[in-house]
Structure 1
Amino acid sequence: MSSPLGAQRFEASTPLSGNGASGALDPQVVREIREAVAARLEHPDGPRASQQDEQARTQRVVLEEVAGWIRRRAEAGFAPPPVSAERALARAVSAALSGLGVIADLLDRTDVENIHIHGHDVVWLERHDGTLERWPYPVADSDAALIDMLAEMFARLGQTSRKFSPAHPIANLRLPGGGPLGARLDAVIEVTDRPRVAIRRHRLVGTRLTDLVGNGTLTQILADFLAAAVRAGCNILVTGGPAAGKTTLLRALCAAIPTPEHVITVEEDYELGLHIDGNRPLVTPLEARQPNAEGVGEITLDDLLKQALRHSPRRVIVGEVRAGEVAAMLRALGNGAAGGMCTLHAGSAEAVFDRIASLGMLAHPPLSSEAAFAWTASAIDLIVHLTKVDDLDASGRERRRRYVTEVLEVGPVGESGRPDATRLFSRAGSGAALPVFAPTLALAGRLAHQGFAPARLQDPPDYPTEAPR
């Protein structure tokens, strides 16, 4: 395995690393070129450019400064480096400008889903299949240097400048790397033994339901059912535990929304990416904002959900609710703009009702359990539950699989005081859920209008217990 950019050296006063063919990046060289680039970027010419133009200008200046450094070395009698080394130097300077440093290299790993940094020299990469890889290189010179790097990120890379220090030891940030939607960084100090950082990459941006059939998350009949439910304007709640694939499934469901509809997405951090889909012209993405270093300027999910309804949406899609904003989410999905969707952490589909009631107590003013059950019954049509399974394949290798294991149709509040629910799909053995009960006549009529024959659920053919992988 080759070492990362920050672990390599370009020798500034001698030919590149002995043989002049491949050497390491000298941090001092990276720093000097970065400072030269930053000085040129401080005084832009003309009016303020768009973010895309600014990025293009920055990249152009980086390449010019790297070329100038190589030219000066050649004039001093050193052999020019190989093209690969020149590109590596340009990437290192760009990473230094963004404040990401060596982390930029890790964000480029398409097989990595999570990056765990436990101190400057303990780095674990969690691949999408659940396996772990120990990254053998440090991401900073010391824990103190790592904290300084994080503090600079929070000061420069977020929507607002934020402090990260012993007085503000917990913070999170959306990084400008790791794909078109970036990545989410969460960091803590002081409350743990060493600086701890978790970075979540948004890998599967363009996922469709057919892709989830291909990897075994869904059976074909379930994919057809869900696509028809989306087209029919059913309000859908996607649930599951951590890393169960909730956001990925929500993206796939959103892909089934008819293109002309006005969709508003409401998220803590942009994860769905509907606004970067060139085939969907009418999307209003709303992203929450944390308070700045002075503690002002916060915009919460609750604020955004209230604002979303003023923009005449056809559908409101909520990335995830974690606290009292569940009340605003239920209002948004129950206001008549059919076809809303959201994700929620829950251990099972049946636990969703109690989970919503618990979160409703955190709303301002608090939502009583009775009101939470009533609002859920009127706002939610379907609960789609995902389960993550970590096991071994036939050769004994670790693997991670994700399945939709339950689909519930939510009915009115029953005699128990809770919403009634009909289990339409359930997991039998291994693999994704299969049909078990027919939907109500009302739901069956909506699905039939979208081309899905309800008889497929009443008398399903024989399906394999696990879709091919």
Structure 2
Amino acid sequence: MSHPWETGDFVPDTPAAVAANGAGRRVAAGWAAIDAGTVAEIRGRVAERLEHDGPFTAFANSPQGRARAARHVEDEVSGWVRRQAERGVPPPTVETERALTRAVMAGLSGLGPLEQLLARDDVENIHIHGCDRVFLELADGLLQRWPHPVAESDEALVEMLTSVFAHQGQTSREFSRAHPLGNLRLPGGGPLGARLGALIEVVDRPRVAIRRHRLSHTTLDDLVEHRTLDETLAQFLAAAVRAGCNILVTGGPSAGKTTTLRALCHAIPATQHVITVEDDYELGLHIDTDLDLVTPMEARLANAEGVGEITLDDLLKQALRQSPHRVIVGEVRGGEITAMLRGLGNGAAGGMCTLHARSAGVAFDRIASLGMLGTPPLSVEAASAWTASAIDLIVHVVKVDDTDAAGRPHRRRFVTEVLEVGPVGDAGRPDATRLYSRPLPGTGAAPVFAPTSELAARVAAAGFEPTRLATVWEAQ
């Protein structure tokens, strides 16, 4: 079985192709001259040149390395074209040359046809259920079946994944029958890369889920434009960030927590030292932001020998020794919640984090549950006390999938709740004032209650005049 990029079955979506054939379709256009042998030959030549430059796998782990590899590929493809011409073969089209270049780069990365899918801006998630069952979850919520296999067989798919885990991550990792679960950040898919999760042995066929970090630059103004929140709420949250409020962003899977957190971070004063702590680089504040001082920290799994692991807990403890103005945690999922609460409550104002939760109010129970996973475990009472002292606001986001007037899939994301966190109350958990809430299903949040005088004074000092909402608050 040949891959589509080897046989001419499709070309990447171009404006002309999309206009003629419809978005998401592929058409044959001059790829027939490219076969597996040609790709393998050029890939081998490039690999030799890369080995001469330095470690062959280094190109996948840095922009400089990939740029060097791309130059070598272009040189070798040009040489192949010249050799074809010397044999009397008609010159290929420009698109064929580009296709060959992409195929060789994909072969070098070890991702093969996945490289083509990662390059599509409209793809949000890639689901692979065996070599020949591939589904694309698009940005508008549409689930699209990809008609081409990503490997010749399930065994070939596992071999490809084994190579990816060995060469693409920060450290070489084993992915095998003995280690059938794997997670990895891929360099492709945009400035922030993509996150890959893979399973074998514990499932019927190899299963792979790849999440592309599509939105590398998002501001609160962008969220207003997409109706995730209204302008007044955006300005209130921006003032809260400037005022140094500690903010927790909650929501379900793919609800837009990281995007919302990234937008909030754009309101941080440019002169402050910001440390980001993440499992995988998703925020990208060190890549695309107006902040001058950003220290990005990324957790690291153990290598194939089981050594070298660096956890979020390790990074959070180190972050507090780096003299930060703010510590931003991408997401907490376990016992590192205790280090996160310590970090937000240690006096360094303006920390932010994301957390999986069904609603803003449920976040208190989630924090208490995760605290019990810490070392040593954090009691429910202690978790409540730490939460009350460490967090000022909880912002909850939801994802809504429906259809537009024409019946086409339509995915929307809303901020539906904003809570002000108060001291521990009689119930033994933090009191909360609901500042914003969603009045109707499928809508964003609207103001409900006034903030405490302390919070009102803080946001006023940061440029947001609370009297703008006085008519709403006074009506309560």
TM over 0.5: yes
* Aligned residue runs from structure 1 range 14-163, under 5 A: 22-44=31-53, 51-163=62-174
Counterpart residue identity of residue 468, structure 2? R
Q: Which residue of 1 aligns with 2:17?
A: none
Q: Residue type matched to 1:387 in 2?
A: V
Cα separation, partners in 2 of 1:415 and 1:168, compared to 1, 3 Å: same
C-alpha distance in structure 2 between counterparts of 1:45 and 1:208, whole Å: 40
* 2:354 paired with 1:343: yes
Instruction: Give yes or no for contact 1:437–1:458 (8 Å, CA) kept in 2.
Output: no
Number of the residue aligned with 1:405: 416
Which amino acid in the other structure matches residue 140 of structure 1?
A
Cα contact 1:291–1:297 (8 A) shared by 2: yes
- For 1:258, the equivalent position in structure 2 comes to 269
Give a deviation string over 1:352-391, Cα, whole Å, max 9, x none: 1000000001000100000000000000000000111112
1:129: Cα distance to partner?
1.4
Classify the secondary structure of the residue corresponding to 1:247: helix
Alpha-carbon distance change, 207 to 20 in structure 1, aligned in 2, over 3 angstroms: closer
Q: Distance in 2 between matches of 1:107 and 1:446?
A: 43
Q: Could you tell me how far apart the structure 2 residues matched to 1:189 and 1:22 are?
A: 33
1:455 is aligned to: 467
Distance 1:389 1:35, change over 3 A: same
**Contact 1:95 1:104 (C-alpha < 8 Å) held by counterparts:** yes
For each residue in 1:58-91, what CA deviation from the matched residue of structure 2 results, as whole angstroms up to 9, or x when unmatched?
A: 1111111111112111111111101110111011
Q: Which amino acid aligns with 2:349?
A: A
| CA distance in 1 between partners of 2:372 and 2:54 (Å) | 53
Residue in structure 2 matched with residue 444 of structure 1 by the alignment: 456
Most deviating of 359-368 and 384-393: 384-393
2:180 pairs with 1:169: yes
Q: How does 1:171-250 map to 2 (within 5 A)?
A: 171-250=182-261
The answer to whether the aligner puts 1:366 opposite 2:377 as a matched pair is: yes
Q: 1:467 — aligned with what? A: none
CA distance in 2, matches of 1:104, 1:205: 19
Greater mean deviation of Cα atoms: 24-33 or 376-385: 24-33
- What is the CA–CA distance in structure 2 between the aligned matches of 1:23 and 1:37, rounded to whole Å? 22
Q: Output the amino acid matched with 2:73.
A: V
| Alignment check: 8 A CA contact 1:9 1:24 kept | no
Letter of the 2:462 counterpart:
Q
Contact residue 5 and residue 31 of structure 2 kept, 8 A: no
CA distance in 2, matches of 1:193, 1:222: 47
Residue identity matched to 1:444: A
Q: Name the % identity.
A: 68
1:212-253: CA deviations, max 9, x gaps?
111111011110110000000000000000010000000000
- What TM-score do the two structures reach when normalised by structure 2? 0.91
TM-aligned CA distance change 1:45 to 1:184, over 3 Å:
closer
CA–CA distance in structure 2, aligned partners of residues 216 and 112 of structure 1: 21
Q: Give the total of aligned pairs.
A: 450
Give the RMSD, CA atoms, in angstroms: 2.0
Provide the C-alpha distance between the structure 2 equivalents of 1:456 and 1:197, rounded to a whole number of angstroms: 49
Q: Indicate conservation of the 8 Å contact 2:216/2:288, yes or no.
A: no
- Measured at CA, do residues 24 and 188 of structure 1 come closer, stay the same or move farther in structure 2, by a change above 3 Å? farther
Segments of structure 1 that go 5 or more residues without pairing to the other structure are 11-18, 462-469
CA distance, structure 2, for counterparts of residue 35 and residue 241 of structure 1: 45
Is the contact between residue 436 and residue 457 of structure 1 (CA under 8 Å) also seen in structure 2?
no
Correspondence list, 1:243-322, <5 A: 243-277=254-288, 279-322=290-333
> CA 1:165–1:7 in 2, change beyond 3 Å: closer, same or farther?
farther
Deviations 1:321-352 (A, max 9, x none): 00000000000111111000000000011101
Answer yes or no: is the 8 Å Cα contact 1:247–1:272 preserved in 2: yes
Q: CA deviation at 1:40?
A: 1.2
Whole-angstrom CA distance in 1 between matches of 2:121 and 2:95: 20
Residues 20-73 of structure 1, C-alpha deviations (whole Å, 9 max, x = no match): 955252112111111111011111289x99944332221111111111112111
> 2:37, 2:298 → 1: CA distance?
38
Larger deviation, residues 309-318 vs 448-457: 448-457
CA distance in 1, matches of 2:6, 2:373: 45
Secondary structure in 1 aligned to 2:150? coil
Residue 453 (structure 1) shift = 1.2
Q: 1:405 to 1:24 in 2, by over 3 A?
A: farther
In 1, the alpha carbon distance for the partners of 2:429 and 2:393 equals 15
Higher mean alpha-carbon deviation, 278-287 vs 193-202, is at: 278-287
- What SS does the corresponding residue of 2:321 show, helix, strand or coil? helix
Aligned residues of 2:243 and 2:350 also touching (Cα < 8 A): yes
Mapped partners of 1:130, 1:425: distance in 2? 27
